[in-house]
A and B are shown apart, each in its own frame.
Chain A
């Protein structure tokens, strides 16, 4: 036992406490203050989402107390001055315009994401990425303006009449019921462009986290590059791509200004791609000015914001958890 002590001389355990004792008082205090300040900021940020939800819930409480939830969600009449608050047209309008956006954006966005992760060299990425960043950077109002200047006339003069002549014979969805050009199709198309970079970037990120050996192994077996990509996507990427689409959906669902400028803003349930509609965010944004005039009006708008928040939060949390799991495994 004596001998052992001589051969292995361990340094004394330096746990945080003994280290701290040796620091001067000034440095200790600085450390303590900095640490608690940063902790407070971080915890406060985590609680912010809860605070937002609670505040919106509290403001919409009068409306929720006055009407049962089912009636609010399924009601189709919106007449605040007569105390009728049916959210169905707005919810359906939002889902419809987001649906159009998804149809327009999902396939090209996923293909772009795959291309960025599997097919491009570093150099090609060097100019492709800034291109997507440009799309992200353009503000919503400029998208809306572009929609008015370019997409609306296009839909009005070319796509609308064409669809009316051909596809309109097959299904009432494609009949040009409204000749102004504003409506679901214009708003959805512009919205699709707005969420395109998000879906592409998340798809790329997820595929990039798949280990390279997997592709190499498949290519060694004689697969073409596309077959290797298919294999990677099928085995590891599918959940991530679905998560990317869900993220895109929730981003599109909450988009305000561009949709509001293009969708036509009429409180009706749309029956055709060319029909005008109304979206939840547009409802909030359009009516903030007069909401203090009717007792339950403000409460109703806050309820709309709450409905938006609930959908977006649940979609986002699920999608982010999936993405985190996928990208952390590597």
Chain B
């Protein structure tokens, strides 16, 4: 009887600890979002969202962070397009031409997983080495290329996971009708478009938030982005630089910028989840 009680107590203790961890994680999420929202909304103004920085902006002058918002969107958009040009063929090759569980397929997946683990500062340094090699200067183009490498593994692996869930019969049926593998892949893409949308949106969200990779490669500027070969501002770096100033007013703008960034990312992630649920209605399961 005594022993049984001890076992029950052990169970209760560990379940309690697990619940506590989960609740603590939830509390931390709420705390982060709460702090960023409270401080951010207090400092947010219409001017900030609609104007590029004026003269003396980093000493408390007028203006806003429109240049950084536009720059970040352009960087993430370009990187997403570039990464999907690589990720889609890659995943299609994985599913159309390589056997499930074959050595090459696992090598390719391992590569992507390992690439996912490489810190973005290393991609940034690589991008910088590449820029020196090609004779490029810090520019939107260099930023896009580097950022594409950062988000490629995330996009490819997410898409891959979703394609893996598509029914096997789809392949058998299509091939039985005499389609080539290329034609089968056309069918497969049409089936997995919701998944592709999810992967693309998640990669886009990751791209907007990434700072370390664009630090060297995209540079920073106070003017609006206007050329592929010129430096652009990005939102994470705008937050970082504004926090570095000694003026409370400018630091408050960093809070507002962080709030804008967080909202953008949360909305895009939410769209990614929704796209899975809404667009999935027409997919054969």
Q: CB distance A56 to B125 under 8 Å?
A: yes
Q: CB distance B129 to A251 under 8 Å?
A: no
Cα of A328 to Cα of B149 in the assembled complex, Å: 28
Quick check: which of B55-63, B165-173, B265-273 contacts chain A, the rest being far away? B265-273
**CB of B106 within 8 A of chain A?**
yes
Cα of A33 to Cα of B123 in the assembled complex, Å: 31
Q: Which residues of B contact A172 (CB under 8 A)?
A: none
Q: CB distance B209 to A39 under 8 Å?
A: no
Could you mark each residue 84-126 of chain A with 1 if its beta carbon is under 8 Å from any beta carbon of chain B, else 0? Answer: 0000000000000000000000011101101100010000000
Q: Which residues of A contact B185 (CB under 8 A)?
A: 34
Q: CB distance A149 to B265 under 8 Å?
A: no
Q: Which residues of B contact A145 (CB under 8 A)?
A: 36, 239, 243, 254-255, 258
**CB of B164 within 8 A of chain A?**
no
**CB of B283 within 8 A of chain A?**
no
Cα of A301 to Cα of B216 in the assembled complex, Å: 12
**CB of A143 within 8 A of chain B?**
yes
**CB of B15 within 8 A of chain A?**
yes
Q: CB distance A138 to B108 under 8 Å?
A: no
**CB of A288 within 8 A of chain B?**
yes
Q: Which residues of A contact B228 (CB under 8 A)?
A: none
Q: Which residues of A contact B126 (CB under 8 A)?
A: 52, 55-56, 305
Q: Which residues of A contact B41 (CB under 8 A)?
A: none
What is the CB-to-nearest-CB distance from A144 to chain B, in angstroms, rounded to a whole number?
A: 8
**CB of A17 within 8 A of chain B?**
no
**CB of A27 within 8 A of chain B?**
yes
Q: CB distance A142 to B108 under 8 Å?
A: no
Q: CB distance B119 to A256 under 8 Å?
A: yes
Q: CB distance B212 to A146 under 8 Å?
A: no
**CB of B136 within 8 A of chain A?**
no
What is the CB-to-nearest-CB distance from A36 to chain B, in angstroms, rounded to a whole number?
A: 10
What is the CB-to-nearest-CB distance from B134 to chain A, in angstroms, rounded to a whole number?
A: 11
Known pairs A42-B108, A196-B25; A257 contacts B119 (CB<8 A):
no
**CB of B236 within 8 A of chain A?**
yes
Q: Which residues of B contact A216 (CB under 8 A)?
A: none
What is the CB-to-nearest-CB distance from B261 to chain A, in angstroms, rounded to a whole number?
A: 6
Q: CB distance A139 to B39 under 8 Å?
A: no
What is the CB-to-nearest-CB distance from A294 to chain B, in angstroms, rounded to a whole number?
A: 16
Cα of A205 to Cα of B25 in the assembled complex, Å: 19
Q: Taking CB as reference atom, which chain A residue is nearest B213?
A: A256
**CB of A45 within 8 A of chain B?**
yes
Quick check: which of A72-80, A162-170, A176-184, A313-321 contacts chain B, the rest being far away? A313-321
Q: Which residues of B contact A320 (CB under 8 A)?
A: 110, 113-114, 117
Cα of A290 to Cα of B212 in the assembled complex, Å: 17
Could you mark each residue 183-215 of chain B with 1 if its beta carbon is under 8 Å from any beta carbon of chain A, else 0? Answer: 101000000000000000000010011111001
**CB of A268 within 8 A of chain B?**
no
Known pairs A38-B90, A56-B126; A45 contacts B21 (CB<8 A):
no
**CB of A244 within 8 A of chain B?**
no
Q: CB distance A317 to B110 under 8 Å?
A: yes
**CB of A217 within 8 A of chain B?**
no
Q: Which residues of A contact B285 (CB under 8 A)?
A: none
**CB of A35 within 8 A of chain B?**
yes
Q: Taking CB as reference atom, which chain A residue is nearest B128?
A: A288
**CB of A150 within 8 A of chain B?**
yes
Q: CB distance B19 to A115 under 8 Å?
A: yes
Scan residues 149-208 of chain A and give those whose CB is less than 8 A from a CB of chain B: 149-150, 193, 196-197, 200
Q: Taking CB as reference atom, which chain A residue is nearest B28?
A: A193
A residues engaging B (CB < 8 A)? Answer: 23, 27-28, 30-31, 34-35, 37-39, 41-42, 45-46, 48-49, 52, 55-56, 58-59, 107-109, 111-112, 114-115, 119, 128, 130-135, 137-146, 148-150, 193, 196-197, 200, 224-227, 247, 250-251, 253-257, 261, 281, 284-285, 288, 301-302, 305, 308-309, 312-313, 315-317, 320-321, 324, 328
B residues engaging A (CB < 8 A)? Answer: 7-8, 10-11, 14-15, 17-22, 24-26, 28-29, 31-33, 35-36, 39, 86, 89-90, 92-94, 96-97, 101, 106-115, 117-126, 128-130, 132-133, 149, 152, 156, 180-183, 185, 205, 208-212, 215-216, 236-237, 239-240, 243, 254-255, 258, 261-262, 265-266, 269, 273
Additional pairs, 16, CB under 8 Å, beyond known A111-B14, A139-B262, A285-B215: A42-B108, A55-B129, A112-B21, A115-B19, A135-B28, A137-B209, A139-B210, A141-B236, A142-B239, A146-B31, A149-B39, A257-B211, A261-B243, A281-B121, A316-B113, A320-B110
6 tightest Cβ-Cβ pairs between the two chains A and B: A254-B119, A139-B209, A305-B125, A38-B93, A108-B21, A115-B18
